[in-house]
Copies of this chain bind each other. A is one copy, B any other.
Amino acid sequence: MTGWLPPEAATAVWLSLRVSFWATVLSLPLAVLVALLLARGRFPGRGLLNGLVHLPLILPPVVTGYLLLLAFGRNGPVGSWLHEAFGITLAFRWTGAVLAAAVMAFPLTVRAIRLSVEAVDPKLEQAAATLGASRLMVFLTVTLPLILPGVLVGAVLAFAKAMGEFGATITFVSNIPGQTQTLPSAIYAFLSVPGGDEAALRLVLISIAIALGALALAEWLGRVVARRIGAP
Residues of A within 8 A of B (CB): 40, 47, 50-51, 54-55, 57-63, 66, 107-108, 111-112, 114-116, 118-119, 122, 149-150, 153, 157, 160-161, 163-167, 183-184, 187-188, 191, 200, 204, 207-208, 211-212, 215-216, 219, 226, 231-232
How many Å from the CB of A231 to the closest CB on chain B? 6
How many Å from the CB of A169 to the closest CB on chain B? 10
Determine the distance from Cα of A58 to Cα of B116 in the docked complex, in whole angstroms: 23
| In the complex, residue of chain B having the shortest beta-carbon distance to the beta carbon of A197 | B66
Can you list 20 A-B contacts with CB-CB less than 8 angstroms, sorted by A residue number? A40-B232, A51-B216, A54-B160, A54-B211, A55-B208, A58-B160, A58-B211, A59-B164, A59-B207, A60-B164, A60-B184, A60-B187, A60-B188, A61-B61, A107-B160, A114-B153, A115-B115, A115-B116, A118-B149, A167-B167
| In the complex, residue of chain B having the shortest beta-carbon distance to the beta carbon of A169 | B60
A188/B116 in contact, CB under 8 A: no
Determine the distance from Cα of A62 to Cα of B207 in the docked complex, in whole angstroms: 14
Copies of this subunit: 2
| In the complex, residue of chain B having the shortest beta-carbon distance to the beta carbon of A113 | B115
Determine the distance from Cα of A95 to Cα of B145 in the docked complex, in whole angstroms: 44
A191/B66 in contact, CB under 8 A: yes
- Complex contacts, A215 vs chain B, CB 8 Å: 50-51, 54
- Complex contacts, A47 vs chain B, CB 8 Å: 216, 219
- Complex contacts, A187 vs chain B, CB 8 Å: 60, 62-63
Determine the distance from Cα of A119 to Cα of B119 in the docked complex, in whole angstroms: 6
- Complex contacts, A165 vs chain B, CB 8 Å: 60
- Complex contacts, A211 vs chain B, CB 8 Å: 54, 57-58
| In the complex, residue of chain B having the shortest beta-carbon distance to the beta carbon of A51 | B212
- Complex contacts, A55 vs chain B, CB 8 Å: 208
How many Å from the CB of A51 to the closest CB on chain B? 5
List 16 extra interface pairs beyond A40-B232, A61-B166, CB under 8 A. A51-B215, A54-B160, A54-B211, A54-B212, A57-B164, A59-B164, A59-B207, A60-B207, A107-B157, A107-B160, A108-B108, A111-B153, A112-B115, A115-B116, A115-B150, A118-B149
